[in-house]
Amino acid sequence: MDTTDDPHSDIVQAYLSGTATEEQMAQFEMRMREDPVFRDLFEAAEAKLHEELETLEPVAPPSGMIDEIVSQIDHGEISPAPVVKIDCIFACGCHRYRFSPCTNAGFGIL
């Protein structure tokens, strides 16, 4: 199912990417409870995303990047970002996934 078929597909995409606003989250939760067509849309988008996740290969950071960041933190040039727990965005089978929007690195199994 193409998620663009539904005028509220932006809510599904925002939810799956972890970028949903409070308003979008409220709409998402309400529609999941009350709208079977919306649930189908979400399940199809989730399944497609799961298929795409299976094809991703890990990518190593460029050589020296981690050491440079640690050095900058140690010298007070930059501050480490606060640790923020991102709750599980979705589950497929026995795996739970989360998206890291700040790195655009993709998804990871929790």
pLDDT confidence of residue 30: 93
Bridge partners (DSSP) listed for residue 97: 90, 109
What are the average pLDDT values for consecutive 10-residue runs of the chain, which has 110 residues? 59 88 91 92 90 85 87 83 55 50 46
Instruction: Give the integer Cα–Cα distance in Å for 45 and 33.
Output: 17
Distance, in Å, from the CA atom of 82 to the CA atom of 92, rounded to the nearest integer, reads 29
Measured from the Cβ of residue 85, the count of other Cβ atoms closer than 10 Å reads: 5
pLDDT at 7: 64
Q: What pLDDT shows up at residue 107?
A: 47
pLDDT of residue 5: 56
Provide the pLDDT for residue 84: 58
- What local confidence, expressed as pLDDT, does residue 57 receive? 84
Question: Domain-by-domain residue ranges, the chain?
Answer: 3-81
Q: Where are the alpha helices (DSSP H) in 1-110?
A: 9-17, 22-34, 36-54, 65-74
